[in-house]
Amino acid sequence: MEKPTNEGTGKPTVSDKDIDNLAHGVLSIYEKPFKTIESQLEELLVKQNKIINTIQIINNNKDKNYKSKILILEEICARINDLIMQIKNNHVRMIEITKTVKTMKTQALKVKKYSLEQAAKHQEQLMKEQNLVAKLPSPS
């Protein structure tokens, strides 16, 4: 199915609906990663609470398993640091996507404006031609 084009220019028209569809498409692609980030943040909070509890236990008990608890804490901290790095990376990606969508929308609006101007020029040209034909004397 061909896209509708402006008469005379052959350039496709871009509607607000097309722009909205594009924005929704981009959002649908990145919505799942952002939901994943949300669950990772919740996991991060749970792990931080575990660390706090573990530290309190260590400070209160100082039992024989002290070294193993330190290793567990180091492992949890390493996981938390990995999650924080993922979150930072995803944040940067989200900013880039937002910039891209804004740029695409701006470009689409420029194309739409251009196509409307071209259509108006074409219509004006047709009117001039019709006026010229109307002014010509009829051959009798």
Residue 112's identity, in one-letter code, is: K
In the predicted model, is pLDDT for residue 23 greater than 80?
yes
pLDDT at 38: 86
Q: To the nearest whole number, what is the mean pLDDT of the chain? A: 85
Residues 6+ apart with CB under 8 A from 22: 101, 104, 105, 108
Report how far apart, in Å, the C-alpha atoms of 90 and of each of 32, 35, 45 are: 12, 11, 18
The stretch 19-40 carries a mean pLDDT of: 85
In the predicted model, is pLDDT for residue 114 greater than 60?
yes
Rounded CA gap, 76 and 45, in Å?
A: 12
pTM summary value: 0.40
- Of the ranges 15-29, 34-48, 89-103, 124-138, which is most confident? 89-103
Rounded CA gap, 27 and 125, in Å?
A: 42
**Hunting for tokens 């924080």 — which residue is that?**
84
Give the residue with greater pLDDT, 1 vs 57.
57
Residue pLDDT, tens place only, 51-83:
999 888 777 777 666 777 788 889 999 999 999
